[in-house]
Amino acid sequence: MNPPSLCPKLEKAMTLLSKRWAGLIIYQLLPGPQRFCAIESALPISGRLLSERLKDLEHEGIVKREVFPETPVRIEYSLTEKGLALAPVVREIQAWSSVWIHIKEQPEPHA
């Protein structure tokens, strides 16, 4: 018999947000709508994985994909109301990490 989850909704939220790059994509979209190429150039992520993650976030109602019928077609991604509700959470994680997370600098290679 499987033990019941302590909090199924928290567990689902943590699973969703802990998918690789999901949190950083949300962070990247906080300032406003962006095109795919802008998101891709801001993050060290492959186009295939970015597309997959955006589809996951869109499916969860966190990201909205808007197609503009122009020539050439323009597509922008933005946060929905549900996605924007994550802003305080993301900002708190950012504040916490600036105090508590230390990244070791890579030594410069000797020539």
- Residue 105 has a CB neighbour count (10 Å cut-off) of 6
CB 95 within 8 A of CB 101: no
CATH number at residue 79: 1.10.10.10
Confirm whether 56 is domain-assigned.
yes
Confirm whether 77 is domain-assigned.
yes
Going from the C-alpha of 5 to that of each of 1, 2, 34, 54, the distances in angstroms are 12, 9, 37, 28
Q: Is the peptide bond before 72 cis (omega within 30 degrees of 0)?
A: yes
Find the domain containing 38 and state its range.
Answer: 34-91
pTM value is 0.84
**pLDDT per residue over 5-34, tens digit each?**
688 999 999 999 999 999 999 999 999 999
CA distance linking residue 35 with residue 53, whole number of Å: 14
**pLDDT per residue over 25-83, tens digit each?**
999 999 999 999 999 999 999 999 999 999 999 999 999 999 999 999 999 999 999 99
Confirm whether 22 is domain-assigned.
no
